[in-house]
Structure 1
Amino acid sequence: MSWYCYAVTEFAAENPAEGITGLREQPVSAISEAGLTALASPAPDEGFDEASLQHLPWLEEIARAHNAVVDEASRRTGVLPLRMATIYRDEDRVREMLAEHSAQFSEALRRVRDHAEWGVKVFASLRAAEEPAAEAPADGRSYLRQRLRQRQARDTRTNEALAVAERIERELAELSADLHRHRTQDPALTGRADRNILNLACLVPDAGRERFLERLADLRQSEVAGVEVEVTGPWAPYSFAGIS
Structure 2
Amino acid sequence: MSWYCYAVAEFAAENPAEGISGLRGSPVSAISGTGLTALASPVPDEEFAETALRENLESLPWLEEIARAHHAVVAEASRRTGVLPLRMATIYRDEQRVREMLAEHSASFAEALRRVRGHAEWGVKVFASLGGSPAPETPAEAPADGRSYLRQRLRQRQTREARATEAAEVAERIEKELAQLSADVHRHRTQDPALTGRADRNILNLACLVPDTGRDRFLARLADLRRSDVAGIEVEVTGPWAPYSFAGTS
Residue number in structure 2 paired with 1:20 = 20
Taking the TM superposition and a 5 Å limit, the aligned residue runs for 1:1-244 are 1-48=1-48, 49-128=53-132, 130-132=134-136, 133-244=139-250
| Structure 1 contact 129–157 (Cα < 8 Å) conserved | no
Q: Deviations over 1:142-180 (max 9, x none)?
A: 111111000000011111111111110010000000000
Distance in 2, Cα, partners of 1:177 & 1:206: 11
CA deviations on 1:219-244 (whole Å, 9 max, x unpaired) are 11124110000000000000000113
For the residue of structure 1 that corresponds to 2:191, the secondary structure is coil
CA distance in 2, matches of 1:144, 1:180: 42
| Distance of aligned partners of 1:119 and 1:165 in 2 relative to their CA distance in 1, 3 Å threshold | same
Cα-Cα RMSD:
1.1
1:134, CA displacement in angstroms? Answer: 4.1
- 1:193-237 deviation per Cα after TM superposition (whole angstroms, max 9, x unaligned): 100000000000000000000011111112411000000000000
Query: Take 1:131 and 1:36, find their aligned partners in 2: how far apart are those partners?
Result: 61
Runs (4 or more) in structure 1 with deviation over 3 Å come to none
SS in 2 for 1:47: helix
Identity, in percent, stands at 82
Normalised by the length of structure 2, the TM-score is 0.95
Is the CA contact 1:47–1:53 (under 8 Å) kept in the aligned structure 2? no
**Residues 1:152 and 1:95: Cα distance change in structure 2 (over 3 Å):** same
Unpaired runs of at least 5, structure 2: none
Aligned residue pairs, count: 244
Sort the Cα spacing of 1:242 and 1:137 in 2 relative to 1 into closer, same or farther, 3 A: same
3-state SS of paired residue (1:193):
coil
Amino acid at match of 2:232: G
1:23-44, Cα deviation, whole Å (9 max, x unpaired): 1111100000000000001112
Write the distance in 1 (CA, Å) between the matches of 2:146 and 2:47: 61
